[in-house]
């Protein structure tokens, strides 16, 4: 996997929430901004106090209901070697074949610590997690469907493959930004421009539509409406000049 962003750039991306990153991404992508690259189904962030997580996807498929997968006694070690081989920071993206049922969890105190040792910062699990306090103590963030009690017959089924989680397909190596709002999986061709685009759009809002909405003391409704309209036009003009797209308020 070839990383396009430096560690410093990844740290800067982590300073914004995922909707802000989306606002930049929509200006630079050719993908469908209404359907592509983010979770279509609801996710739950079980460690919102940890803020956003940013990392490159390592992928794995599980099927906790199926005891037969345990016959592959080398699966655990082979999967761990794959995870270890990928440069960090990494986010583990887990497809659970038992969906919509949640019968067992790959994630708890031990696996979170193990993956943290291998350079992973968190997981996106289209299934269940457990030991949420212990996971938090390990510094390992998780977005998941829900909590569960047991692990059932969890073992890696396949890995380093395309997975589908929360209605969205993710490829190994994709850059992911995730927080309590959900996740955004960045197409490789959009990665290099992402940080600059997100910063620009955040500053564009702060220079136009947000101050216009707050500077209303003593003004009439008509004056406020005119001010908001002018700010929206200024926002759109700045976006169009920079990206040739008007943006959300243009």
Closest listed residue to residue 205, CA positions, set 243, 174, 238, 181? 238
| Domain assignments of the chain as residue spans, ordered by start | 7-193, 208-243
pLDDT digits (tens, 9 = 90+) for 182-203: 999 999 999 999 999 999 999 9
Q: Does domain 7-193 have CATH number 3.50.30.40?
A: yes
For 221-250, what is the mean pLDDT? Answer: 88
User: Which band of pLDDT confidence, cut at 50, 70 and 90, is reported for residue 245?
Assistant: confident
Half-sphere exposure of 161 (CA within 13 A, CB side): 12
pLDDT at 55 over 60: yes
pLDDT at 249 over 70: no
Are residues 179 and 53 in contact, defined by beta-carbon separation less than 8 angstroms? yes
pLDDT digits (tens, 9 = 90+) for 128-169: 999 999 999 999 999 999 999 999 999 999 999 999 999 999
Structure-block tokens of residue 239: 């976006």
Report the percentage of the chain scoring pLDDT > 70.
98
pLDDT at 1 over 60: no
Mean pLDDT of the chain: 94
């Amino acid at each position: 996997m070839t990383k396009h962003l430096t560690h410093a750039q990844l740290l800067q991306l982590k300073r914004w929430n995922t909707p802000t990153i989306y606002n930049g991404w929509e200006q630079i992508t050719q993908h469908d901004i209404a359907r592509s690259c983010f979770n279509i189904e609801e996710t739950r962030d079980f460690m919102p106090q940890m803020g956003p997580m940013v990392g490159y996807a390592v992928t794995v498929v599980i099927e906790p209901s199926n005891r037969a997968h345990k016959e592959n006694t080398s699966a655990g070690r082979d999967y761990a070697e794959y995870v270890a081989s990928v440069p960090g920071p990494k986010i583990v993206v887990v497809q659970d074949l038992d969906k919509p049922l949640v019968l067992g969890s790959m994630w708890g105190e031990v696996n979170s610590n193990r993956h943290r040792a291998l350079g992973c910062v968190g997981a996106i699990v289209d299934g269940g997690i457990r030991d949420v306090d212990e996971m938090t103590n390990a510094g390992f963030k998780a977005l998941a469907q829900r909590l569960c009690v047991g692990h059932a017959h969890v073992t890696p089924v396949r890995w380093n493959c395309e997975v589908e989680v929360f209605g969205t397909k993710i490829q190994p190596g994709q850059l992911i930004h995730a927080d309590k709002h959900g996740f955004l999986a960045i197409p490789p061709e959009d990665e290099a421009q992402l940080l600059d685009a997100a910063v620009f759009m955040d500053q564009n809002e702060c220079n136009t539509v947000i101050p216009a909405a707050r500077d209303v003391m003593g003004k009439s409704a008509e004056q406020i409406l005119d001010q908001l309209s002018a700010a929206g036009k200024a926002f759109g003009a700045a976006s169009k000049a920079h990206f040739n797209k008007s943006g959300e308020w243009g």
